């Protein structure tokens, strides 16, 4: 390879691209009071480093909802790992065991007789479908830029600016300063790479696109590289077909024919577009479309614009969402250090509240970057995945993980980013109805612990994780939360109420009376992924009436009843639901004062289990509150104290942050949050499921939501200001958080005490505001703002 020349090559690659749907960019903004024209200080929102990434967990993430990239920032070789949100290997998927319900009555009878092991064997043998794996979301591949080796690099900096959503690398070679910018434009639906230098004719590099498997491609023109193929798992599980096109646009220098190469350019812009034949509406019927033409049309549209215009449009669209919320938790000298060094110092005990604020905004940034109307929802890895066979297939685990992904959506003013999750839940209804009918002989719809792009709903695998028919119902909670925050009655009528009704229909048929108490119980079912020891010393997973089941059913029934009241629906079905709710067996407090995870006070073989499922009623539920059930909060605290660290699992630490925030214990919430950030965050701030191991994005979102819960709560019919403020955040401010009832809230505090709060009413109506033990009531009007002092007096 000659120095000073760009050469474009294609290595064998597999790549499947989205061809389904229209991507909506200009969404309703909601009347946010914090926007891109505000005078807030948006500096300090950079993740930055003084060296290139050596591992994927050090690279920096950009995304537009559909396309994603991880930027390594190398100076000899720049690696940009690529993703597309529908790039999935295909069927077969787990299938319903038709007629399984004929055996469930016998399993229930055995459990009621205390014969848990016998019941579990029946459920495993007769109900559970085989697990079929891998069938994974997959990497798109890698874009590599190879530069002249042996150069002396100085003044290196690699950063991700959360306010612009641009990853940037700058360094000097001699007297020349090189700049590299990478971003994923939601406006132009492409990944953009820009290389420039302050000295002319200095841009020299080779280009390659590669992927581990199943793709072909080549240069169709001196400035165009194409790759296409079909996703598989080692030739099986044939999934989506794809095409991607990369345009090379040099400024100055020259393109070398047949090599798609650039020699001695002043600047170069690379544009990557991609599409697949995935059909979200009917996944088993691929879209019939010319993928090459789709890509060419996308390229033709963006090529008409200058780089400056592409960049400006990208920043404006990102800030439309990102700048709705600002957070200042104070600054210490640690804030001036590179991000990886700040994380190291945090683990060693250094206070760095600005890093917490950065982590909060990073969570919002990730949701904006991987979940927009028209895209797939955020999966276990969001959008960013370097694997052909990812951990847990990077699928949609619906026994907490995807729900946690969307906990920040409403409260942190990103309501439209919630939409892909709603679409996924609604898309599960047809399959979920079939599973409910064929497996359980029930009406309504059901889904279990996981699903993926193929929308399967069957119980499969081991009963310890798979026999849990609560996944769909938990997803429906988000519909009611969306209504509570935004007040969209059309959404309530046409989307929330129907999906809640489907989930409630299933429960009406699924619940049975406990022969000893006459109360309604769910089962056989597990408490997600946990085990108990039976009286005869054996270890089992399945029981009748596990606490989480009962809490989710109560929550689903209650959400449906509330929706019916608002919509003026009063019929036999609603009366049946009200009656069933009144007969539900609800969790009890055990002899040791803990909230019981099962209907009996079983011994736990793993007392530090990562799941804390029986505390659903505390968070994200609203069944246990200081006002309504203080004794249950005390029992929940004892359960948390007994469970301890739970193996330092990232999402578990995030959930515990939320639990203690709901308990108004800012110090304990802050302790778990610091553990989440300090121990579970990789150098690029992405969450490790365990410290230093296995990226899983849910912890990022759960931590973001936990920070919001510490500053603002509204789940009990009032806006509670600073309910769990820790001593470490003695002074600060937050602007733009959202509260249920249609309010947007700004809060400022000093010395741990409220200074003032601004409440903007989007809808109007009665607004109750609490701070410490004082509660005031304000009659608000839509579009008006109200300022309160530290005594909650109007000013």
- 531-547: pLDDT as tens digits: 999 999 999 999 999 99
Question: Which are the contacts of 447, defined by CB distance < 8 A and separation ≥ 6?
Answer: 398, 428, 431, 432, 435, 457, 469, 471, 472, 475
Q: What is the pLDDT of residue 482?
A: 98
Give whole-number Cα distances, 652 to 676, 680, 698, in Å: 9, 10, 9
**92 cis-preceded (ω within 30 degrees of 0):** yes
Q: Residue 231 — left, alpha, or beta (φ > 0 → left; ψ -120 to 50 → alpha)?
A: beta
Residue 265 reports pLDDT greater than 70? yes
Give the three-class secondary structure for 279: coil
Residue 24 reports pLDDT greater than 50? no
| pLDDT band, residue 645 (cuts 50/70/90) | low
Residue 656 reports pLDDT greater than 90? yes
Residue 736 and residue 32 in contact, taking contact as beta carbons nearer than 8 Å: yes
- 59-80: pLDDT as tens digits: 999 999 999 999 999 999 999 9
Residue 463 and residue 475 in contact, taking contact as beta carbons nearer than 8 Å: no
Q: What is the pLDDT of residue 32?
A: 52
What distance lies between CA 397 and its chain's CA centroid? 11
Between the two ends of the chain, the Cα-to-Cα distance in Å is 71
Mean pLDDT across the chain, nearest whole number?
93
- 283-309: pLDDT as tens digits: 999 999 999 999 999 999 999 999 999
- 556-584: pLDDT as tens digits: 999 999 999 999 999 999 999 999 999 99
List phi, psi (to 5°) of 5: -140, 140
Looking at residues 205-222, what average pLDDT do you find? 87
Looking at residues 160-178, what average pLDDT do you find? 98
Looking at residues 400-425, what average pLDDT do you find? 98
Interatomic CA distance for residues 205 and 265, integer angstroms: 10
- Residue 42 neighbours by CB distance under 10 Å: 17
Interatomic CA distance for residues 162 and 321, integer angstroms: 12
Residue 262 reports pLDDT greater than 90? no
Residue 251 and residue 239 in contact, taking contact as beta carbons nearer than 8 Å: no
Interatomic CA distance for residues 22 and 751, integer angstroms: 49
Of all residues in the chain, the percent with pLDDT exceeding 90 is 89
| pLDDT band, residue 41 (cuts 50/70/90) | confident
Q: What is the pLDDT of residue 31?
A: 43
| pLDDT band, residue 692 (cuts 50/70/90) | confident
| pLDDT band, residue 203 (cuts 50/70/90) | very high
Give whole-number Cα distances, 715 to 155, 708, 712, in Å: 49, 13, 10
Q: What is the pLDDT of residue 39?
A: 63
Helix pair 547-567, 497-510: axis angle to 10 deg: 140
**DSSP assignment string, 92-141:** ------TTTHHHHHHHHHHHHTT-HHHHHHHHHHHTPBPP-----B---E
Residue 264 and residue 253 in contact, taking contact as beta carbons nearer than 8 Å: yes
Q: What is the pLDDT of residue 8?
A: 34
Residue 205 reports pLDDT greater than 50? yes
| Dihedral in degrees, nearest 10, Cα atoms 285, 291, 293, 294 | 80
- 127-146: pLDDT as tens digits: 999 999 999 999 999 999 98
Residue 7 reports pLDDT greater than 80? no
Nearest to 245 by CA among 212, 290, 292: 292
Least confident of 148-152, 155-159, 393-397: 148-152
| pLDDT band, residue 648 (cuts 50/70/90) | confident
Q: What is the pLDDT of residue 550?
A: 98
Q: What is the pLDDT of residue 260?
A: 66
Residue 730 and residue 751 in contact, taking contact as beta carbons nearer than 8 Å: yes
Of all residues in the chain, the percent with pLDDT exceeding 70 is 94
Nearest to 325 by CA among 760, 783, 764, 791: 760
Give the three-class secondary structure for 477: helix
Least confident of 259-268, 437-446, 485-494: 259-268
Interatomic CA distance for residues 95 and 83, integer angstroms: 29
Q: What is the pLDDT of residue 441?
A: 98
641-646 LR contacts (CB < 8 Å, sep 24+): 642/594, 642/607, 643/607, 643/608, 643/609, 643/612, 644/607, 644/608, 645/608, 645/675, 646/608, 646/609, 646/610, 646/611, 646/612
Looking at residues 733-759, what average pLDDT do you find? 98
Give the three-class secondary structure for 53: coil
Helix pair 572-583, 547-567: axis angle to 10 deg: 150
| pLDDT band, residue 256 (cuts 50/70/90) | confident
CA gyration radius, the chain = 27
- Residue 698 neighbours by CB distance under 10 Å: 29
């Amino acid at each position: 390879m000659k120095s000073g020349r760009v050469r474009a090559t294609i290595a064998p690659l597999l790549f499947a691209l989205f061809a389904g749907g229209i991507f909506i960019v200009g969404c309703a903004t909601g009347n946010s009071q914090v926007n891109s024209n505000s005078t807030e200080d948006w500096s300090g929102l950079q993740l930055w480093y003084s060296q290139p990434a050596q591992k994927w967990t050090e690279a920096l993430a950009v995304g537009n909802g559909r396309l994603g990239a991880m930027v390594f920032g190398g100076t000899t070789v720049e690696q940009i790992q690529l993703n597309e949100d529908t790039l999935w290997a295909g069927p077969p998927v787990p299938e319903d065991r038709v007629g399984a319900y004929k055996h469930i009555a016998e399993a229930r009878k055995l459990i009621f007789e205390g014969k848990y092991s016998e019941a579990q064997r029946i459920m495993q043998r007769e109900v559970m479908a085989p697990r079929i794996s891998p069938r994974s979301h997959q990497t798109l591949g890698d874009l590599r830029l190879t530069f002249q080796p042996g150069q002396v690099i100085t003044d290196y900096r690699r950063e991700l600016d959360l306010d612009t959503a641009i990853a940037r690398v700058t360094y000097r070679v001699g007297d020349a300063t090189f700049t590299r910018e990478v971003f994923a434009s939601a406006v132009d639906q492409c990944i953009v790479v820009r290389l420039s230098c302050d000295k002319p004719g200095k841009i020299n590099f080779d280009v390659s696109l590669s992927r581990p498997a199943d793709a072909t491609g080549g240069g169709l023109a001196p400035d165009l590289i194409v790759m296409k193929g079909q996703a598989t798992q080692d030739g099986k599980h044939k999934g989506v077909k794809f095409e991607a096109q990369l345009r090379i646009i040099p400024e100055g220098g020259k393109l070398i024919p047949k090599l798609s190469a650039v020699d001695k350019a002043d600047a170069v812009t690379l544009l990557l577009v991609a599409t697949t034949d995935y059909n979200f509406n009917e996944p088993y019927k691929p879209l019939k479309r010319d993928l090459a033409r789709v890509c060419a049309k996308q390229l033709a549209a963006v090529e008409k614009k200058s780089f400056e215009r592409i960049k400006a449009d990208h920043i404006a669209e990102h800030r439309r969402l990102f700048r709705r919320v600002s957070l200042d938790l104070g600054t210490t000298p640690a804030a001036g250090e590179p991000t990886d060094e700040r994380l190291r110092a945090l683990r060693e005990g250094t206070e760095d509240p600005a890093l917490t604020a950065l982590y909060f905004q990073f969570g919002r940034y990730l949701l904006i970057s991987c979940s927009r109307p028209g895209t797939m929802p955020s999966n276990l890895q969001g959008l960013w995945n370097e694997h052909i066979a990812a951990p847990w297939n990077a699928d949609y685990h619906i026994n907490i993980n995807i729900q946690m992904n969307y906990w920040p959506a409403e409260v942190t003013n990103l309501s439209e980013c919630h939409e892909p999750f709603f679409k996924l839940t609604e898309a599960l209804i047809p399959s979920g109805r079939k599973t409910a009918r064929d497996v359980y002989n029930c009406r309504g719809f059901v889904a279990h612990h996981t699903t993926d792009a193929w929308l399967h709903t069957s119980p499969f695998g081991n009963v310890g994780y798979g026999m849990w028919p609560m996944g769909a119902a938990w997803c429906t909670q988000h519909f009611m939360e969306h209504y509570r925050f935004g007040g969209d009655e059309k959404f309530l009528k046409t989307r929330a109420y129907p999906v809640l009704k489907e989930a409630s229909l299933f429960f009406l048929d699924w619940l049975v009376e406990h022969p000893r108490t006459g109360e309604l119980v769910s089962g056989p079912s597990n408490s997600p992924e946990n085990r108990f020891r039976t009286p005869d010393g054996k270890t089992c997973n399945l029981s009748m009436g596990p606490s989480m089941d009962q809490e989710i059913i109560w929550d689903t029934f209650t959400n449906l009843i509330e929706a019916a009241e608002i919509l003026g629906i009063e019929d036999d079905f609603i009366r049946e639901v009200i009656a069933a709710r009144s007969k539900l067996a609800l969790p009890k407090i055990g002899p040791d004062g803990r909230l019981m995870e099962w209907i009996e006070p079983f011994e736990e073989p793993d007392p530090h289990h990562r799941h804390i499922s029986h505390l659903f009623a505390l968070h994200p539920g609203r069944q246990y509150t200081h006002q309504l059930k203080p004794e249950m909060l005390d029992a929940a605290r004892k359960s948390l104290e007994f469970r301890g660290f739970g193996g330092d699992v990232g999402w578990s630490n995030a959930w515990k942050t939320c639990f203690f925030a709901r308990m108004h214990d800012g110090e304990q919430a802050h302790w778990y949050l610091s553990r989440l950030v300090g121990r579970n965050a990789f150098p690029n701030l992405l969450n490790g499921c365990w410290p230093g191991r296995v990226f899983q994005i849910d912890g990022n979102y759960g931590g973001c939501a936990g920070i919001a819960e510490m500053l603002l709560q509204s789940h009990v019919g009032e806006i509670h200001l600073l309910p769990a403020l820790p001593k470490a955040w003695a002074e600060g401010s937050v602007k733009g958080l959202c509260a249920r009832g249609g309010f947007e809230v700004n809060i400022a505090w000093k010395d741990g005490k409220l200074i003032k709060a601004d409440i903007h009413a989007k809808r109007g109506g009665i607004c109750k505001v609490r701070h410490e033990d004082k509660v005031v009531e304000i009659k608000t009007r839509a579009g008006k703002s109200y300022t309160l002092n530290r005594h909650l007096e109007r000013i």
